[in-house]
Chain A
């Protein structure tokens, strides 16, 4: 009797485990966890051995993983249903920020909703691809130029609002995530090339619209030594950190740039410079490979997605994830201007961690829920 009970229990546990993990993509999760662990290790070094910051980040990670699990267990049908409401809420909040937002460090990004302050542009990072994918899914049968223009408007309005805050980094990333949806929805090559040409032509106009500090950042990129103690300081110091790391790096917790506090924002946007200084080119190679593996898995999931909605979402999330990595590493290594973009899964901070993992949760949901083939 006793042994019978035991087997019963065993089966139950297996069943529970099955229900718990059936919407989780083990492969993707494993590599995400590996990157997060690397991130915690670097954070420990970047904060000068401050375990408190590492604990905070661990809490961020746990919260983000729980959210990822919840999203992964939500079917795309359900996610599709909330696309429009989320977008509208996000847009309303953005307008709220423009009207009543709180100013911190010269930028109007936060909205006080009584209980806490929120940054609605974060919400838009998820809401925009969802909304645009929903839109294209709805008009899939009769896709015409008119529909592309409608979709573009869905994207341009929030992007302009975020640009006005001003938050160039977030605006660019959101614009990119929306553009990826357009791209995968089949926007004609002629238009894409036209847009690129138009973009190049409008650069002078954009230059005129930029805030002084944004212009300064671009100028600094072209010649960092022009302003060594001001805006150029970040780029000079992070280039020194990366370059002096050499092939094998200076070793964990031994980067002088990091530990002697020469490196700015070393636990957030510039954490990659810490990594590079302490682990060198070998470390960078492994890090890029880890990211490539994750991106590769995301592309496999995208390629196998069954509905137009899922495909567009998955494609956009994947390319946006890549864009984060590229823009962050590019700015830290001095080939892109300094815009506030974190290194995904590694930089300190809860918001971007949550946004990233919600994205992965959607990918897992796409991959693990039964696929309906439309006829």
Chain B
């Protein structure tokens, strides 16, 4: 073993450090010699190469796939038109050029604003549109004055258009200009090359979720250009492949019928085919004009949409969460039968309230004085709260959570568009995790009638209703039924997606279904809406309490009062013996389900099953059997 001498070691180290310095300087000198060679000796050679470096590879943008409803009605299409475009790097003074251009072609302040915003976000060498859709006179006028405007050109472009605007905006969504976030996403998915010429990308709705199908494959063109970058000659060309067309399960006629039945009211409706999960109607009111977003929305319209108290950009059907209210009761009732907590024969006396043992607090029924003697059937028909208070207490929250979870409440339904929310089906474990509090017996009581912590989306309610109608089959809701290859015209069917089947005893299900039919018959909470129907019609009314309204906003008092009113809800399917359509309706701030939501369902069924056009607007029926849920 040899002990090392520190000073000698240090000296050795410093010698090696000195050698490193020489090594570094030597290699940097090599680099420097290389730079000198490239930039001084060979400068002429490379400058010439840069000058004639004019073989550009230009992307050829594919046409975006079209979107149709189930009967071939166009919901999203393309058209080509001429656009006036400016390449900022070739224009010394943008402002004055715009002023001069305005003398020939109409350029509104909005156009100008939009262009300035675009310019900030884009490369200076990119050609950017100042005006879209030029008419023939404008094209001719510009052509004769073209020499005055270097860097300004007329180009033929393909534009997207949504002919039905508000009616399907929450389904179709929209495309808009590609931003940095989109670029990062594309880079991560290794798709940047396929978007080299593309200016737009799907941002929301089907346009977003089916981007891969709709976009198509970019082609390339090898061109020789002159010194100014204009192409002289095409050397080779690989043609783009257009995106695929989408055929939706959506029935546009039905969508229109819903729109008409809603009139000016706010809310949402989702209608599914219980036999396969196809979405027949999907409405969130109000909608918005999705065409506004394509070229980049201007400030004025954006503020109008974004600040509107009606929140038109909010997709209520997919992302709005509401307490399900009494529409929760059929699921509770089935839980009672399946878990053996109630029999169809069991009945109780309803004094109009329920109290937990040893506690004074009274949970009141919506009907003062109660409904008399109530069995399970009657509890659904008249929507008795007391029956469910006591049932909830017997079941316990975790049984409720586990059983009703089978209906997809509190979970994503698996719909084929992004951004779905999961809502909330509370459990004691959830409360502990979320609020660090134990679950109280009182929490169960309000949860038992669909209030309390319960939150569901209209889509989830329609999904759960579909499962009652079809006997427990959890088909994933889907918009896209078929995909058409744009080149060959070949149509591929997308098979239904049965996610799982919940096992319910047919005889228990029968009890629930029979009660739901009686809801729409005399004595039921939706008797008026069900009157004289030419098919059997099963449903359940509900009232969703408005928990809160955004604080600190300035609205006049009358308006606030209106927005504090309860939401009307209704779930239904028909014909009851072999269901063809199942739906959930929500009408915001209009009170009870029987009076406003159920009549909309009736009109939708009349249209879908009988072909009767809906009567327009606001004909709410005034049911005597009005119900109100009051959990506290």
Contact = CB atoms under 8 A, between A and B. Distances in A.
B81 to A, nearest CB: 27
Contacts of A242: 35, 38-39, 46
Interface residues of A, number: 57
Nearest to B89: A259
Contact of B40 (A53, A247, A256, A261): A247
Interface in B477-535: none
A335 B120 CA distance: 38
Contacts of A355: none
Nearest to B57: A229
A183 B16 contact: yes
A335 B29 CA distance: 13
Interface stretch (B6-14, B104-112, B411-419, B442-450): B6-14
Contacts of A326: 27-28, 31
Contact of A240 (B12, B36, B50, B180): B50
Contact of A186 (B9, B36, B39, B46): B9
Interface string A236-258: 01011111111100000100110
Given A244-B43, A284-B39, A335 B34 contact: yes
Interface string B335-367: 000000000000000000000000000000000
A48 B3 CA distance: 61
A259 B126 CA distance: 10
B187 to A, nearest CB: 10
A276 B35 contact: yes
Interface in B12-32: 12-14, 16-17, 20-21, 24, 27-28, 30-32
B56 interface: yes
A135 B93 CA distance: 64
Given A50-B123, A53-B180, A257-B53, A245 B39 contact: yes
A160 interface: no
A333 B17 contact: no
B30 to A, nearest CB: 7
A196 interface: no
A240 B47 CA distance: 7
A223 interface: no
A186 to B, nearest CB: 6
A303 B17 contact: yes
A330 B32 CA distance: 10
A115 interface: no
Which DSSP category, helix, strand, loop or mixed, fits chain B's interface?
helix
B39 A243 contact: yes
Contact of B20 (A48, A257, A319, A330): A319
Nearest to A242: B38
A39 B390 CA distance: 70
Nearest to A255: B50
B39 A104 contact: no
Contact of B12 (A186, A244, A259, A260): A186
Contacts of B21: 299
A178 interface: no
Contacts of B92: none
Contact of A260 (B30, B56, B120): B56
| Interface core residue of B32, B39, B56, B180 (most chain A CB under 10 Å) | B39
Q: Which 7 A-B pairs have the closest CB atoms?
A: A243-B46, A48-B123, A244-B50, A243-B38, A281-B39, A244-B46, A52-B180
17 contacts: A48-B122, A48-B123, A48-B126, A52-B180, A104-B188, A140-B4, A184-B16, A237-B53, A243-B38, A243-B50, A246-B40, A247-B43, A260-B53, A288-B28, A292-B28, A329-B31, A335-B34
Given A50-B180, A141-B4, 14 more contacts: A49-B123, A49-B124, A50-B121, A239-B38, A242-B39, A243-B38, A243-B39, A243-B42, A311-B13, A315-B16, A319-B24, A326-B31, A329-B31, A333-B34
